[in-house]
Chains A and B, each alone.
Chain A
């Protein structure tokens, strides 16, 4: 057994110019950024204030930053696929050989779901939920940091696969027998499995954290029916995380045992059952999409109410619909494999449940419409994203209802019709929701708004580009085009795929607008400054703090009397024209102490994961030991809180409405 397991220089794909070019760009970018940070002396600040931070606001920002960077990588994969399919018709072979193309579509799905959508949603929940609940932080702040850094570990491992080794070529679900050792002997599937196992632990811990926070830690007076709807959707989403991710953990563990120790869960011989993988994968997979979309629905609720200047219509039915979706999402999973052997009665059952689950979402759409009706709607960037969502998502959802019918699904399963459907719900649903939330809460996080013009340009590019890119796929899907094609012979598909390519380019323009938006906003931050903490005339408690809020969020926990707690408070203050009494008495506040546990544990997780992928057992052992020692050190630490003296609390509070820099 060699010292470095399976690892040697042949792992680096020197003979593939596209990959080496990409790796080169990534390395240069990372080295430049790190050098700039070091030379400017920002490293100690970054370590102290961000990397070891256990503050939910900082962790939320880091999640979103991670997600946006990975959006660039995932989108690059997407546009590469579109380009390949636009040219590889008939005799032309395109520029991507099949082995490479297969890795691209696998990486695209994996990255977009696990490393873009999940971190975006979790990051927004991290930032906003404790503020909306009127409390100081989540239930387990240090565990929150561990969750973030473990997600980052997964990101790192997946990206390393580009430079060292390969990624899975199995698609993002990695069905056996293809993903078994017999048919995927390389390291690609191992990269996939270990990246997702590691980040999956982080996500599960996040779920535990938020369920506990929402159920056990709310401001005094905030009963369940006085919580903002975003917190209800966060609760449902995190309950689903707790309910679904353990299944994925068990499933990947079984596949890993097959691959590493020669077990026979899903092999073609010795009694293995590959369909068991498919079954359990989608037991996780369907709740996963609701984990992503429910918080997005919550954001739409907040944005609609705020910018219509009216309370959300039908609060109770929103709550009921949310919890109904939470439970129902666990009863539909077979619709992902209608064609894979179940009999008509089983298919019919799941077809019916899949149609039923559309009903609560319909209730929500009507509630949003009725909220806007009769209100004075301000067409800000978040509202544009919201209306774009409402217009698009309804149609995407309708194609879902179509697909819920087994006979229809039999025609279009695994064609690009399906690809069009799920992009038609995920992009307008999750992505537009997160863009709305990002624009909505940005001033709270950083103290200045995002530029409105570039934001609108970005929206229109995304909206138009998305439709151009995906509507043609419905057509070619109905014409019979399967998904994941590196090359095709049916020339009549090509015009449609050229339109799709144009759409991808328009989306690229949209992303460029978003990058410009950040640069311009930072340059003009003084003009865009949020001086009051309440730039949108908001309704919920996060707008009652300074922008950005101090580590302890609220000098005094607010006492809540009803729904839309901040709105009612504002009306009362305006009516009484005097300072609220609570501003006159401050007490010292204990805040959780920063901790390197998260980043250090994640470092050892990366070491362990990489070593296991390359069969370097002794390094894997060191990694596990290191993680164990880190947790031990955390367990035996004596000081877990820092006290902020009352004067500092008061001083900070009295400086409102002036902003405080990070």
Chain B
């Protein structure tokens, strides 16, 4: 961006306060904008959480959380997502040092761990559906599938985004815009893990308490 300033008004040698420094660099603008979008996503999840919390006991005579949830599975999913957050962090370090190989490796590991998470989740849904615990059976199940499913959908979109970013990285290298987008991806990925912390705590752990 061209930021030319009135020549007669520049105060030389003075450190401007950040609020007076003029338009911020693109990286800051893009990352902050994405940060605000993530906050809006968190508000959306809070509405879904609220619905889940309200409807958690509305099982309509059908199966309850305590009967359906497999804690071991939830623990494995948590471990997978947490590790994928870690590998994403390593990928960020590689991007900062502009290392192609490190970035691709970090991306591949993140992708595989994320995909494994999704596979476990889909299998869990499959088991539940086979037991007759479909979302159409009760309000609790509707809320459960929507909340956890929405998170899973975000993970799936994230995986797709990661693949596209690797393609773009291969085609264009560490261009500014590519680096900015990768940075936004890592913000997204870490935020998804934060939401998962809330899900496994509120849905799976609190859900099986007597």
- Interface of A toward B, CB cutoff 8 Å: 135-136, 139-140, 204, 207-209, 211-212, 215-224, 242-247, 249-251, 253-254, 257-258, 261-265, 267, 269-273, 276, 280, 283, 556-561, 580-582, 585-590, 632, 635-636, 640
Contacts and interface: CB of A to CB of B under 8 A. Distances in A.
B208 interface: no
B32 A215 contact: yes
A272 B135 CA distance: 12
Contact of B135 (A261, A283, A557, A635): A261
A220 B136 contact: no
B22 interface: yes
A552 to B, nearest CB: 9
Interface in B129-180: 135-143, 145-146, 164, 168, 171, 177
B60 A271 contact: yes
Sorted nearest first, the 6 A-B pairs with minimum C-beta distance are A271-B58, A271-B139, A246-B44, A220-B22, A250-B47, A263-B142
Interface of B: 1-10, 16-17, 19-24, 28-29, 32-33, 36-37, 39-41, 43-48, 50-51, 54-55, 58-60, 135-143, 145-146, 164, 168, 171, 177
B139 A590 contact: no
A635 B163 CA distance: 13
A220 B21 contact: yes
Contact of B43 (A243, A253, A590): A243
Given A250-B44, A257-B142, A271 B4 contact: no
Contacts of B164: 632, 635
B198 to A, nearest CB: 15
Nearest to A267: B139
Nearest to A280: B47
A245 B43 CA distance: 9
Contacts of A276: 51, 54-55
Contacts of B55: 265, 271-273, 276
Contacts of B8: 580-582
A257 B146 contact: yes
A242 B40 contact: yes
Given A135-B23, A208-B33, A587 B4 contact: yes
A173 B76 CA distance: 42
Contacts, number: 175
A273 B48 CA distance: 14
B47 A247 contact: yes
A558 B1 contact: no
B5 A211 contact: no
Contacts of B145: 263
A268 to B, nearest CB: 11
A221 B142 contact: no
B180 to A, nearest CB: 12
B24 A217 contact: yes
Which of B28, B29, B32, B47 has the most A CB atoms < 10 Å from its CB?
Answer: B47
B146 A254 contact: yes
Given A221-B20, A557-B4, A209 B47 contact: no
A618 B21 CA distance: 52
Contact of B33 (A139, A219, A561): A139
30 contacts: A207-B36, A212-B32, A212-B36, A215-B32, A216-B32, A217-B29, A220-B21, A221-B22, A243-B40, A246-B44, A247-B44, A250-B45, A254-B51, A254-B146, A263-B135, A263-B136, A263-B142, A263-B145, A265-B143, A267-B139, A270-B137, A271-B140, A558-B6, A581-B7, A581-B8, A582-B5, A582-B8, A632-B164, A635-B164, A635-B168
B23 A273 contact: no
Which of B2, B8, B24, B143 has the most A CB atoms < 10 Å from its CB?
Answer: B2
B7 A585 contact: yes
A265 B51 contact: yes
A628 to B, nearest CB: 9
Nearest to A586: B4
Contacts of A635: 164, 168
Given A242-B39, A254-B146, A271-B140, 7 more contacts: A140-B33, A204-B40, A212-B29, A221-B9, A264-B60, A271-B55, A636-B168
A257 B145 CA distance: 11
A120 B55 CA distance: 38
A304 B55 CA distance: 50
Contacts of A560: 20
A557 B47 contact: no
Contact of B23 (A218, A261, A280): A218
Nearest to B62: A270
Contacts of A640: 177
B3 A220 contact: yes
Contact of A588 (B2, B17, B54, B58): B2
A242 B1 CA distance: 27
A51 B51 CA distance: 40
A262 B135 CA distance: 8
A263 B147 CA distance: 13
Contacts of B19: 218, 223-224
A633 to B, nearest CB: 12
Contacts of A273: 54-55, 58, 139
Nearest to B43: A246
Nearest to A581: B8
A135 B5 CA distance: 12
B40 A207 contact: yes
A581 B7 CA distance: 6
A555 to B, nearest CB: 8
Contacts of A249: 44
Nearest to B34: A208
Nearest to A223: B19
Nearest to A207: B40
A382 B38 CA distance: 39
A556 B6 contact: yes
B5 A559 contact: yes
B47 A246 contact: yes
